Every structure is written in C-alpha cells, then in structure tokens.
Chain A
Amino acid sequence: MNTKTLVFLLLCLSLFFASCTNDDDGIIAQPSGDYANGLLISHEGNFGQGNASVSYVSYDFQTVENNVFSNVNGTPLGDSAQSIAFDGDLAYIVLNVSNKIEVVNRYSFESVATITSGLNNPRYMAIANGKGYVTNWGDGGDATDDYLAVIDLSNNAITSQVISVEEGPEKIVGDGNRLYVAHQGGFSQNNIVSVIDAMSNSVSATIEVGDVPNSMQLDAAGNLWVLSGGKPAYTNDETAGKISKINTNTNTVTSLDFAMTEHPNLLNIDNGQVYYYLAGSVYKMDATAIALPTSAQLTGLNFYGMLVENEIVYGLDAVDFSSNGSLNVYDLNTNTEVESIELNIIPGEVYLN
C-alpha cells in the first residue's frame, strides 16, 4: 500500500490543521473617551447571551458609538443591562442576568468598580440620602424574597443593609430622603408603590395604584405620577391601565382609568405634559386634564423604551429582538420623525448625559 494510502490519510488530516485560522474580524470603534452632551442608551441584549451594551449618540446625532463600555474597557459589559442610574460623575449600569452593577465614569466610561455581591435579579437603582438603592426580584418564582440592596456610594460597595419589600419591585425614584418603588410584580402582577424612608432604611408606607405599575416620574410640583399597565388578558383577570397622581405630602391618590383592553406604558413628564405609549402610539395629556386624550400625537410606532425631553421624543425600537434596534427621534412640534439611528440588540432605556 501503502505509502500512497498513508500519504493520502496524512493529507486529509493536514487539511484540518490548516483550517485552524483566526477570524477575529470584529471591528472595534475607536473610543472617544468623551460621552458628554449626548444620549446614553442601555441595551438589554438577549437573555443569557451576554450581549448587553451601551451606545452613545450625541445630541446633534452626528456621533454614534455602540459598545461604549467594551470599547473603553476591553471587556464585555455583561448579560441583560436593565438600566443605568447616575450619581455625580458616575454611572451605575445594572446587569440583571449577570447579577452585577458596573460602575463607570459617565463621561469617559472608564470602569471604576464592579459590584458583584448582594444582588439577586437586580432591576433599577436610585439615589437617596447619599446612598444607592437597587430593586431586586430575588428568585423570580418566589414572591417573598424581594428586596432593596443598599450601596455605600463612597466606596461603591454593597452594605449589609437589606430592605425587604413586596413582590416584584421594579422602577425606583429618589426624592431627597425618600424613595418610591413601583411593584410591577416580577413574573406575577402587583399593584403598589412602596415609600422607603432612606434615613431609617425601612418601608414607611404602601400606596395602592393600578395593576402592574410600569413607569413613574416626579413632576415639578413634587407629585409622583405612576402609570400602571393593568393585568394582561392571559391572566384571565384582565384589568384596565391607570394613571395615578400621588401627592407626596399626603400620599393621596387621584387617578384616570383606561379602557379595559388598554395597557399603556413608558410614562414621561415634560414641560407640564404627561406622555405615554399605548399600542403603537404616543399620547400627550396636560397634567391638569381630567380625562384621557382620545387622539394620539404619534402613531405607527414600535417602542420598547422612550424618553421625552423638551418636546423631543427619543423612542427605542427593539425590532424582533434578534436584529439591531434603533433610536427614532420625533419632534412633537411637528409630530414628525427627525432622525433614525441603528443601534445594537434590544435597546431598552435612553438617558440624557
């Protein structure tokens, strides 16, 4: 034989070794190190797939940079960037599935610290009384292990303090020495806002709102506006969405109800106007109105996140969750789209920087 056959065998095998090639062809954008005067957009990425990211878009839309964190720091950001909180020069990026918070300089995006302990399904963070408060679901299937983790902002470490709260704490807003926590309900549905006393680190009051409070914001007068989506149809106990206005001095609530099958989200307050997103449209309502608007400002949208600032709507479209999403910008004076910028996978929240 045999030499011939052997040579053939060796040839076949050598083909395989030859095919070990490096195909590092990822294009890394040059980090500018200057992420002021623009928007920061957190991208959840796909659950479990570690493709969370943050993008920067300058206010004039001329500069766009995706993967800012990994460009600057050379390491991937993590899994499922749920939200970002800010304190002074620092940004706190909450990574839900990684169970960590990446602390960076908000303008250079250089890593300052990584908080990896004391978190279990972290969602959102707010600042009060000089400390950071992070909502945590605990185990999604367990309704009794939800809590707020408390961060010492002087050294960016988790304190031993744990504030147990009701099921499904989600959005959190700081107000001096108080915090408001919207209990969306995690994998279930809840209908309360907890008031946290940041001096004693305890729950000082519980305010009932609509089912599934998904967004909230303080207005200039100090009222807390809470938008609840209502229970979805699949629960076989569908309820209507609701806008609640909480007087933060008295904790009294006034509210407006949506129709039974209407499930709004993404509440924003801008210049005395209340904005929200409902079934592909953005609606605008005067803060003093006594009835919900009947016609929409913008229609035909597909928003997963939204920020309204100075009559500009910054909408995030996550498309089909496996293609690149986009930032779509609308001018509310003309109700027209002024910009559309392709971003990364599943953009979720947009912030001013």
Chain B
Amino acid sequence: MKQITTLFLAFATCAIAISQTSLDSIQRLDEVLLSDVKLTRYASGLKIETLTDSVLQKNKRSFTDLLRYNSNIYFKENGYGMVSSPSFRGTNASQTAVVWNGININSQLNGQTDFNLISTSNYSSISIRSGGGSVQYGSGAIGGTVHLNNVLSFDTHFDNELQLGYGSFNTKNAHYKFSYGNKNWSANFGLAYRDSDNDYKYLGSTRTNENAAFNNLDINLNLGYVLSDKDVLKVYHQNFRSDREFSATILAPSKSKYESEDYRSLLEWAHIGNTLSSSLKAVHLLEQFKYFENKDTNNFSKGQANTWQVKHRLTNTFSKQLELSIITDYSYITADGDSFNDPKRNAFSATAILSHSPTQNLQYNLNVRQDVISDFKSPFVFSGDVSYQLASFYTLKFNASKNFRVPTFNDLYWNPGGNLDLKPEDSCQLDLGHEFKYHTIGLKLNTFYIKTSNLIQWRPNQFSGYWNPMNIANAKQYGLEAELALERQIGKHRFDFNLNYSYTKTEDLAKNQALFYVPIHMANAALAYSHKDFSTYYQHLYNGAVKIIGGSLKGFDVGNLGFGYRFKTKSKLSYQADFSIDNLYNTYYENVALRPMPNRNFNLKLTLNF
C-alpha cells in the first residue's frame, strides 16, 4: 500500500505541472458506450485484436472455434464441445483471464473459463489483448486476456435479427437479438440456443463419438439510460445455461454429464465530466455446476461460488496529454459445494494508472496495483507500456509487467487436499511489438518472454495418500507472433486475407522439458471474397504437434469453406443464407489425445434482419 501512495503522489505532482485542456471527444464516447475503457485507453503498448460483429457472424460455431481460427490462442478441447481450455502464449488455462464488460469472470472454483461455456452470439465485439494484464484485470491475466464487450448505442435505431441454423450431427442453432436506441435510452437483448447430438463418426473406424450431446442457452439483456449530459446509467445481465454429456475417449467409455449455470449482473453509473470522470460499478456473479458420474442416476456432486463486487474508478484528465485513473474495488466471495466447507474471501485492490502522451507519436502508461486478500498475501504488481510511432507506417510497442494468479477455492479448500499455505503464482514478462500499416496491409510482429514462479500444481502426497496443490513449479515461455491482414477492393470484388502465426517455446524449469499441450507452431489463415451480395471464405488451421505425458500428439491441418448470399428487399428487411463445410478435407485429427474431432460436416444458416 505504501508503494501505491508514493506512486500516486508522484503522479499527481507531475500532473499538476501540465496545463488543463478539454477532454478528448473520442474518449468521452468510450465512457458512454463501453464498460471497459481500460481496454481502449490504457493499452497503447500492447497488441489488441478486436473481432467485430461481422467476424462473429461468420464464425458462429463456438467461442473455441472463433478464437482458434482468428487468433494466436491455442485450445485444448477435450472432445468437440467439451471442456475447452486456452493456452495463451504457452501459459495454462488458469493464466488466461476472460473479461466480461470489464469484469474478470474466471471461475472462483478452478480459476479458469471453459471457452465452450461462452456463446459468441450476443456480443458487439470480442477483443484479444496479448500479454500480462493483472494490474488492470486482476488474477490470471498472465498470458493474455479475452474481452467480451457489449456496446450500448444512443443513436436512434431499432434493429432485429433472427437466425436459424441446422447442421450435421443434428446440430440446431437459434438466435434472436434486437438493439434499440434513442437519445436517452439504449437497449440490447439477445437469446442464443445451441443443441447438438455431436455423435460424429470416427474416421477410419465404425465407432461414433459417444455420450457427447450438449445444449446451451445464453440470454443477455443490456440497458443504458442517459441521466444527464454528464451521467449514464448502464445495466448488463447475462445468464448462460449448459447441459453437456462428457464424451467418451477411444479407450474409455463415459456416461457422465455436467450441468452448469452462470449469472452475471453489472450495474454501472458513469459520470463524464470535463476533467474528472468516474465510474461506479456493482457486480454480482454466480457460477454453479452439477456433475453426474452416471447421467442415468440422480447422484451428483455440486459446487457454486458467489461474487459480490463494488468497483470505483476516478479519472482525472489533466490535459489531452495526461490522465490519471485510480481504481479501487472490493469483493466478497463465497463458495459452497460437496467438496468445501463454506469458504469465504474478502478481497480489496487499489490500482493507479497514469497515461501520458508527451508528443503526438508517443504514448506510455504506467500502472501499479496492490491486492489485499483475506486468505493469503498478494504481490504488488506493476506494468508499463509504451507506443512510439516512428514512421507513418511503423509503430514500435513495448510492455513489461508483473502479474499474478491467486490460489483458487479448489486449491485452498478442496477436501481432501486443499492447501492453505499456498502463495499466488507470480509472473514477469516482456513483450516487444512492431506494427506496420501501409494502405490496407497490416502486419504485427511480437516477441515475448514470460517467466512464472510458484506455479500451483496438484501432486500426489505419499504421506497422506491423496493429492495436494503446491507452489512447486517454475516455467518460462518465449516466442514470436505474427499477424498479417490484407484487404483489397477492386470494383465490386472484395478480398480479405488474415494470417496468424505463433512460435512458442516453453520450459518446465524443474524438469527441463517442454510443457504439455503447447504447440511450438500454430497458424491459421482466412481468405474471404465477396462480390455484390455473394460472399465466400476459406479458413485453415495448422496446429503443430504437442508434447503429452509420456509422448507426443501429432499436429493437424483442418480447413473450412463457406458461402453466403444476401437477398435484399425494398424495405429494411433482408435475408442472408449461409452454407458452410467444416473439416473440408475430412481429416482425422485429435486435439486432445484419444478424442477424435468431427469429420466433414455441413451447416446451413438463415438470417433475417429487419
């Protein structure tokens, strides 16, 4: 805390020296439309990729598929539609934070987000922020963060969209959303349902994917109300329900299933003044699950966690060049379940973010944060990033940060095994980025280095006979990421090409070996073409071989092809028909050992906009 006070004073002193000018209007707009202004304003030295509404539309399969084909994130999916954990720059699933409208929603129970328990349908955009973000987003933001954003627009509009889809393996999709806005009100609502038997044939065998059916329902409702020309009230709510069987492997049958429900609610009052702006948020998150070892019986184990949070941000815009934000939050978290004895946690954090642009071409941010958490001591974390435009086509970016991941409720309180002596994992990292932009060609090259100590791993304890989590491992990851984007319009012909490549080396420092399930090479590419109302795309994924316990798992290539046609009418109504072929080459591949992924499959989708 002492460091924070000192830094705060330092920031404030230098801030006063700079004369005050009016608030930038773009920044004002952010405050109105978004709940997570940190994402757009205090990350100039980091690589951020935003997948817009149109990309989300085209990739309406799963969140896992969306990111697998459009980002550098690697996924370990336990059979199609099953538990899906990300590895961001070679880090593990607990080291990637998922941020919903500015709120970290990783599970309090296991510290992770299952990317197959997030629907992509109801967001305005999804952003991928590479690199450490614990200062801004708290525990688990080590490899990077994935942001789910809902934009509340106060333009006068009323848009509806209805989408119905049907595909192989009896896969059904239904989605409806509307967006309404006027000068004072903004509302959007989304309802997305997905259901699949998921019983695809295993190529080269007579067997099918057994016990793998799933369905899920995502309901979103977001409201905004302009209280005055300086105050906006916003409410975000989401309910996600999922019912999944847990699939068999080639060598082990399964009859288990998993039901889960998440409720997320956020109330925000944003005040946008000329120099001072503030945001006060009240948040409630509820996660709960039931696990059935045998889906035909009523025996299950269950767990749930409740998080209540109050978060306040005060931003002082000293000038166009200089801004300081102080963020404080308090959380009260409780868990309940068959494997816990009612644990509770109180957590407080204070963050200071200084953003400065001494010249037009140079911007840097300095950030510090301290958490005070009731059940263990948290590290002081800090980060700095800088963006320097050296030429009209070239920007150099650099960021360095110290990040952390707190022990989860499972780590601390699971009976048997929970270990109250755990410390948070702590991680340091460096990231250097080059961004080239020439006409419609964009190229980003990033090199990164991450070192994490006190990694929490569950290990067998021969004295007790059961497993305990321990701060036992140290790991490092380093590598290179390249992103290329090209677009070209020739008359009515439009071409878009995107390429993501990552080279990732990892090392378990105690065992002197690579980490499990991290491909050294991974790449995806997409080529899209459209002419008037016709559109088509091809996507390709190359996922290199990964090390697994006792061996390695082969890499694979998969391609998808899609076509679309839009029928316009004289009124606002338009129809769009889309047809896609996934796994075009009918390739046999396993993303996780012994869990074959789907063979070639087809999907038809009809969309009405009115």
Contacts and interface: CB of A to CB of B under 8 A. Distances in A.
Interface string A184-222: 000000000000000000000000000000000000000
Interface in A7-24: 9, 12-13, 16-17, 19-24
A139 B252 contact: no
A318 B460 contact: yes
Contacts of B554: 22-24
B540 A13 contact: yes
B550 A9 contact: no
Q: Is the interface of B mostly helix, strand, loop or mixed?
A: loop
B167 interface: no
Contacts of A24: 554
A31 interface: no
B557 A323 contact: no
A26 interface: yes
A99 B299 contact: no
Interface in A323-337: 323-324
Given A5-B486, A320-B460, A324-B550, A140 B293 contact: yes
Interface string A245-284: 0000000000000000001010000000000000110000
Contacts of B252: 48, 50, 78-80, 97-99
Contacts of B416: 232, 234
Interface string B221-263: 0000000000000000000000000000111110000000000
A45 B521 CA distance: 28
Interface stretch (B146-154, B277-285, B463-471): B463-471
B549 A322 contact: yes
Interface residues of A, number: 51
A98 B253 CA distance: 6
B497 interface: yes
A304 B461 CA distance: 11
A141 B296 CA distance: 13
Given A12-B525, A232-B464, A26 B551 contact: yes
B445 interface: no
B542 interface: yes
Interface residues of B, number: 48
Nearest to A320: B459
Contact of B542 (A9, A19, A303): A19
B594 interface: yes
A135 interface: no
Contacts of B297: 139, 142
A76 B550 CA distance: 14
Nearest to A279: B463
A286 B415 CA distance: 37
Nearest to A280: B462
Contacts of A19: 521, 523, 542, 544, 555, 557
B299 A49 contact: no
Given A19-B542, A234-B466, A139 B511 contact: no
Contacts of A303: 462
Which of B294, B486, B550, B594 has its CB near the most chain A CB atoms (within 10 A)?
B550
B549 A79 contact: no
A234 B415 contact: yes
Given A16-B523, A232-B464, A232-B465, A345 B540 contact: no
A122 interface: no
Nearest to A47: B252
Interface string A160-202: 0000000000000000000000000000000000000000000
A139 B293 contact: yes
B555 to A, nearest CB: 7
Contacts of B545: 23
A320 B521 CA distance: 28
Nearest to B594: A50
A98 B251 contact: yes
A2 interface: yes
A228 interface: no
Interface of B: 249-253, 293-294, 297, 299-301, 415-417, 459-460, 462-466, 484, 486, 488, 490, 495, 497, 499, 511, 516, 521, 523, 525, 527, 540, 542, 544-545, 548-552, 554-555, 557, 593-594
